[in-house]
Amino acid sequence: MIPSEFGRPIVVIITTEPQLDPLILRVVFDVRKLPVHAPLAPDTAAIVLAPAGDPAPAIRALRDRTALPMMAVLAREAPVSGRVDALEAGADDVVSAPFDDAELVARVRALIRRAQPAQALGDGSDLAIDLSRHRVRARGNDVDLSPIEFTFLATLAKQPGLVASPASLSAAAYGKNLSTAMLYTTASMVRRKLQAAGLPEAIRTVRSRGYALADDTVAEVRQ
């Protein structure tokens, strides 16, 4: 069964056969049975009984009224074309009976996850780095770093609590071994930009060893 920590799943389940209702009720947490034209609350998991054999019109009618994730549960004898029609009508997923309980739970979980708003970069962290977009946020503010500065900071953030040696930092940022002065300049520029964004003292210098993120800096690194 979908556990209660999910809250009430926001997913509409459309079935073409009444005999499937008990199977769904056994697996999905807190499901309400509703007719096709009943109002749908945004936190509802509903079984909507569509006309036997062709759920597409019911799916289409519901999709016109709601953006809730929608799953169609079809009878055993439903042809492949029935699944295609359900998807094209607006269903996000289709399952045919007989179905495995664990598979149905996994599919509902996936619909619930897709319905949740994505957490904004940097929510709940002091420093957030998006590696694929080369984006940095500090205390909710965007930080404009050069490619070398970005790589320097990302190298530290990917190993919180550990000290990165000058050799590893210069190799990552510049592709070669640099002088201590050049690395110091890069660290200083990154510190200055983070401070301007509201995050002072995020980078600490470890004498004779290199650089590290400050112990109290909470960092998020997104691939």
Q: Are 29 and 1 in contact (CB under 8 A)?
A: yes
The CATH architecture to which 4-115 belongs is 3-Layer(aba) Sandwich (3.40)
Interatomic CA distance for residues 148 and 131, integer angstroms: 13
User: What tokens does 98 get?
Assistant: 């007989």
**Domain ranges in the chain with CATH number 3.40.50.2300:** 4-115
- Give the CA angle between residues 171, 143, 203 to the nearest 5°: 55
φ, ψ for residue 167 (rounded to 5)? -65, -45
Mind listing the pLDDT tens digit for each residue in 107-164?
777 776 666 554 555 455 788 888 877 888 888 888 888 888 888 998 888 887 789 8
Interatomic CA distance for residues 157 and 127, integer angstroms: 8
Interatomic CA distance for residues 32 and 13, integer angstroms: 10
Mean pLDDT of the 81-98 span:
82
pLDDT of residue 208: 84
Mean pLDDT of the 188-199 span:
91
Fold category of 127-222 in CATH: Arc Repressor Mutant, subunit A (1.10.10)
Q: pLDDT at residue 47 above 70? A: no
**Domain ranges in the chain with CATH number 1.10.10.10:** 127-222
pLDDT of residue 2: 42
